[in-house]
Amino acid sequence: MEQPGLGDGVVRTIGADHVALREQVLAELRRRIVDGDYAQGERLTETRLADDFGVSRNPVREALRVVEAEGFVQILPRRGAVVATLDETAVRDLFAVREQLETLAGGLAAERATPADVARLRRLLDEASAATDAKDFDRVAELNSAFHRAVIEVSGNRWLLSISAAMYHHVHWVFRVGAAQRAPHSWEEHIRLVETIEAGDPAAATIAARDHVAAAAKAALSSRPESA
């Protein structure tokens, strides 16, 4: 952010560069955890991350605080920061919340969607289909989260949008673990949901959303290493 200064110059707001750097480090740290570059249970020291990102330890320390609050990292005695583990309880809790939010969003979207909204959802389906065919599962995972956020936006409920914002980082994380197996089935379920939204049928959309979350939960639990 810049503010007008004296003469023809500008005076940068104090801390603006620092905040921007912190946010860049946070976004990259979160991405590497979600994409599996930093594995579950892996130790993350400030020094190592500073070297990985080519920055000082200060923005790394601040980013670690955020991802700890978000549940991506745990601070353990004598070990420090380690990547959190997607254990069965964490996965079940995530999907319990998803079921409530996404079924509500699906029903509201069916009531409120415009033709432009439906076209937007179908474009995301087309992009996901292409990414699945190309076996670009990083992109598939991104599009999965984008699709669900779009349905919530179409619902027009600002509280749903606010509550779900942080959750979809974890949805992305869980989906990415089993994306190669899950992707084709997931998009078939998304197509069914979009069709019910386009038909303006809230009851059918609610059922489609609930069935999708149930199938996704089953797949996520079965793809965990200890479930293999």
Would strands 10-12 and 73-76 be described as parallel, antiparallel, or unpaired?
A: unpaired
Q: What's the whole-model pTM score?
A: 0.78
- Of the pLDDT bands very low, low, confident and very high (cuts 50, 70, 90), residue 118 is very high
Q: For residue 19, what pLDDT is reported?
A: 62
CATH 1.10.10.10 positions along the chain are: 2-83
Q: For residue 4, what pLDDT is reported?
A: 46
d(CA 214, CA 221): 11
d(CA 47, CA 14): 26
Q: For residue 1, what pLDDT is reported?
A: 45
CATH tag, 2-83: 1.10.10.10
Q: Is the pLDDT of residue 3 over 80?
A: no
d(CA 136, CA 140): 6
Q: Is the pLDDT of residue 227 over 60?
A: no
Q: Is the pLDDT of residue 58 over 50?
A: yes
Q: Facing residues of 74 across strands? A: 82
Q: Which residues contact 62 (CB under 8 A, 6 or more apart)?
A: 22, 25, 26
Greater confidence (211 vs 181) lies with: 211
d(CA 107, CA 207): 9
Greater confidence (193 vs 219) lies with: 193
Angstrom CA distances, 225 to 76, 87, 167, 191, stand at: 22, 10, 22, 29
What end-to-end distance do the CA atoms of the chain give, in Å?
50
d(CA 185, CA 123): 18
Q: Which residues contact 63 (CB under 8 A, 6 or more apart)?
A: 22, 25, 26, 29, 49
Q: Which residues contact 144 (CB under 8 A, 6 or more apart)?
A: 128, 171, 172, 175, 179, 183, 186
pLDDT, tens only, 16-52 = 555 688 889 999 999 899 888 999 999 999 999 999 9
d(CA 114, CA 214): 27
Q: For residue 12, what pLDDT is reported?
A: 46
Tokens 């976004």 appear where? 27
- Of the pLDDT bands very low, low, confident and very high (cuts 50, 70, 90), residue 2 is very low
Give me the helix-helix angle, 167-177 and 16-34, nearest 10°: 30
pLDDT, tens only, 119-129 = 999 999 999 99
* Mean per-residue pLDDT, 44-66: 93
CATH 1.20.120.530 positions along the chain are: 88-227
Question: Which fold does the domain 88-227 belong to in CATH?
Answer: Four Helix Bundle (Hemerythrin (Met), subunit A) (1.20.120)
Q: For residue 130, what pLDDT is reported?
A: 94
Q: Is the pLDDT of residue 76 over 70?
A: yes
Q: For residue 187, what pLDDT is reported?
A: 87
pLDDT, tens only, 144-163 = 999 999 999 999 999 999 98
Greater confidence (13 vs 93) lies with: 93
